[in-house]
Structure 1
C-alpha cells in the first residue's frame, strides 16, 4: 500500500472530492449549516461511515479492503491517491438515488438550512402547487418553485400552501406555535397533525365567503382590468350578414354573454330558443357585451357588443351600429319579436333603441335570476344568506356589498319596463312570486 499522504495533501484531495451540498443534505441532523463539510468528513465523518459524495460509499470501500481499514486511512483519500491506480473498485452511496431525485429547489432549501430533507418531503405531500400558483400569480410569473417560495418566505407574507391550511388560522388557533417563531406549516406536518391540531378554522362556508368577500367596487375594477381590447367591425358587415336571411322574419335576443361559447341555464335557454325559431324559418340576432360586466349600464353607450346572426358570430359593434343595421332590416316589413334574457352589461336605452329600430315594442323578459331587483342577482345578502329583496336603502340592504348599487340597477330596469310592453317568462310560480314581492315592475 502506498505511503500515507501528508496533511496538506489530504486536505487538498478532500477539498476536490467532497460534495458539500450532498454531504449537508444527507446528514441533516449534524447542524452543518455553519460547518465545513470537508473538514467534518476528514476529521470525523468517514469514521462514522458517512459518505462524502453520491459516487462513493465509505462503508463499502472499508469493507472491501480491510488493509485500508487496518491502516486507519481515510478511504476517500486512499482511493484518490492510490486506490484508483491499483484498480480498486468503488460503489455509489446508498443515498445517491434519493439525492438525485431531489429538485434543485429541494437542494437549495436543505443546503441553506431552511429545512431538513425529511421535512421538505413531508411538506411536499401536503403542499398544493396548483393552488399556490393560482392564488398567487406573482409567484407563477416569477417561474420559481412554488414550494421553495412558500417555505422560504411565502408563509411570512401570509400566503397559504393549500386550500386546507391557513397560516393565519394556525397561528391564531395555536398561540404557542406563533410565540415560538417556528414555521407553521412545517410544525403542522411534522408535529401538529399527530397532536390533532386544526389546519384552519372550521367556521363553515359562510365564514369563508365573508372572509374573502370583495366589495362591488373591487369587482368592477376587476372587470375593467380583465376586459380585452376589441376591434370594432364596420356596420356594413352586419348589414351584409343580415342580408343572408331566412324567409320568415326576425327574433332578437339580449343576454350577458355569447350563448354559443358559454355553458349555463340561460345560455341553454337561448340555444333552444334559437333552434326553435330556425325550425320556423325565422332569423335570430343575438346581442351580448363583448366583455362581461357585473351591472347594467345607463344611457346611450358605445359599449362593444358581440353579435351573432343565426348562431354564427358576425363581429363586434357598438349599439348605434346595431341600430343602423336594424333600421335597414326593418324595411323588409316582416314579423319581428324579441326576448331579454339578461341585462348585465347592457343599458336600457341601448336595448330600447335597438328593438324600436326594428319596429318592435312588445317582447319578453326572462327571470333567469333576480337581476332586475338587485345587482346581487341571486338575492343573497353578502353572497351567503337569502335577503328576500328588502326595500332599497333599508338597514337590511345597507349592510350588503350590493346595497349602494341596487338603486341604479332597479332604475335601469324600471326604464325598460316603462318604455316597452314586456311579458315576464318565469321558470316557476315561486320565482315569479319572489320577483313580484321584491319589486314593483309592471309586467
Structure 2
C-alpha cells in the first residue's frame, strides 16, 4: 500500500501537500493571515490527514505531534504617536507628555511592559490607560525641566517583538523677555517722543516689539529706538516685548505734551473764522483743530492743571515740599468744563501753582516769569505758563543721576 494524498487543515483552510523527492517529505506552502499570539496556546493547531491507495485515512494534529503546532509571528511594527504637547515651545517646566500606541488589525497587540519613555534620557512617572485600539501613556517628569532645550524619546514593542519609536524636541520657556525702557521726558512740548531701550530673551529669540501699537525694529544687541507722535495733553504709550513662546513684558510711558508755541497768527486765524456769519463745515473743523492755540479754554486749563499737579508730586518724591494747592472749579470737581468761568481768586490760584513750581528752581536758566493772574491774558503768558513746567521737568534728568567718584573717597571731601 502507498500514500496517495496528504492534506493539511490550517486556520480552517485545507491544503494539499506534494511529495518532495529530494527531501522525501510531503510539503506545501501556507501563508498565515495573522499572528498566532492570540490563538489558544499561542500557536495554530495543524491537522494532517493521510490517505492510502485503499482509501484508508488517518488524521492527527498538534495535540499528538508537537511539530504540527505552528507558531506564527507578524513582522509589522506597531504605531506609536505623540498626542500632546505638540513639538515646539513649552511655557511650563512641569509638562505632561502623552503618547498613544496601537497595533494593526490582527496584530499581536501592544506589550505595555516594553514601553520606554524618557525626557533627556531620564525616567519619569508613567501612567497607563487601555484604549479601544491599544494603550495611552502619560509621562510626568519627576523634577522641573530647566529653561532651554529638551528631547522626548519613546519606544514600544508588540507581543511579537516588533518595535516602534518616536522622538520630539522642545524648548522650555517660562520667563518673559527682558524689557528696559530708558529714561524719558514726561512733560514736553514736542510733537513726538523717541522711546529707547533694550529687550532680549535668552531662550526663544527673536523678540517682537510693539511701541504705541506699532512694530519697532530691534538691532542685533536688543536695542531699540522708535518715535511715537504725541497728542496735546496726556499720552499713554505701551511698550510690549513678546518672545516666540508668546510671553510678554510691558512698560507704560506717561507723557504730557504742553503748548509753548502759540502765536499771533493762531489768534488771527481763529478770529477770521469766528467773524464769518456762514461758516462752512471745513471751517468749523479747522476751528476745532486750531482753537486750542487761538483761544484759552477749559482744555488748556485742565492740561496745565494736570501737568502742574504731576510735577508737584514728582518734586515731592525728590524731597521738595509739594507746592501744589488744588483749585476746584466747583465744589467736588477738580476739572474745568466749558461752562466754568474762572473767578479772579480761581485764576490767581491756578497761576500760583505754576509760580510756586518756578520758585522751587530759581537757578534754571532762561526760565520765564509767570503772570500774576489771568486778567488780560496774552498768548505769550499762556506760553510761559507751560514753558515753566516743561523746563522745570527737564531738570529731573540731572537731579536723578547718581555720580560715582573715581578713586578712594576720603572724609571731608564731600
Task: Please say whether Structure 1 and Structure 2 have the same fold, judged by a TM-score greater than 0.5.
Answer: no
In terms of Rg, which structure is larger?
Answer: 2
Higher strand share: 2
Higher helix share: 1
Q: What is the TM-score with the length of structure 1 in the denominator?
A: 0.25
Q: What is the TM-score with the length of structure 2 in the denominator?
A: 0.26
